[in-house]
Structure 1
Amino acid sequence: MSIFEIIMLICFGAAWPFSIYKSYSSRSIEGKSFLFLVVVMIGYGSGILHKIFYNYDNVIYLYILNLVMVGIDLLLYIRNRRMNLRDQG
């Protein structure tokens, strides 16, 4: 288990609750990128697979937590996009 990996995941993960709150409360997709969120999810998914197949330790739970938070933000992006399209049309 690497302390540097833990710090990295905590630092990256600290931003997601704020992003989720902004997405939920603003009901806007402004400043968000679907592709970016998907790429980040792929990155966390790859980290989880690496932990499962090569180096299993408790850090996997930080990867899972971050993946879940990005997934929530992605779902909010989809919701907000639908709401914006409905409001425009």
Structure 2
Amino acid sequence: MLLCFAASWPFNIHKSWVSRTAVGKSIAFEGIIEIGYCFGIAAHAVNGDFNYVLAFYFLDICLVATDMLLYFRNRKLDRERESLLKSIKD
């Protein structure tokens, strides 16, 4: 599962980068995913089970964090675009 998520996040990041819009994205959803990964890491730590799987948790956290940063960038671009369109209308 972690491997599949690690393989799919780069596609989502690319889409966020290219689309330059935050429309249709949910920062809350991505935050919940981040929390889930943190709980997964915590479970491994509590059980003393330190193995290669943790690398995928950390990789996935970094990938989701990258997409979250792009969300804020794209939201800013959306506001600028909206402001420009509004000034053109007026």
Q: TM-score range by the shorter chain?
A: 0.7 to 0.9
Alignment of 1:31-50 (within 5 A): 31-50=24-43
Within the candidate set 9, 12, 15, 2:5 is matched to 12
**CA RMSD in angstroms, aligned pairs only:** 1.0
- Aligned twin of 2:62: 68
- Aligned twin of 2:72: 78
Give the unaligned 5+ runs of structure 1. Answer: 1-7
What TM-score results when the alignment is normalised by the length of structure 1?
Answer: 0.85
Q: Hey, what's the Cα distance between the residues in 1 that align with 2:7 and 2:68?
A: 16
Q: Which runs of 4+ in 1 moved over 6 A?
A: none
What TM-score results when the alignment is normalised by the length of structure 2?
Answer: 0.84
**Which shows bigger deviation, 54-63 or 67-76?**
54-63
**Which shows bigger deviation, 45-54 or 74-83?**
45-54
Q: Hey, what's the Cα distance between the residues in 1 that align with 2:17 and 2:42?
A: 30
Q: Hey, what's the Cα distance between the residues in 2 that align with 1:56 and 1:31?
A: 37
Give the unaligned 5+ runs of structure 2. Answer: 84-90
SS of the aligned residue for 2:25 comes to: coil
- Aligned twin of 2:15: 22
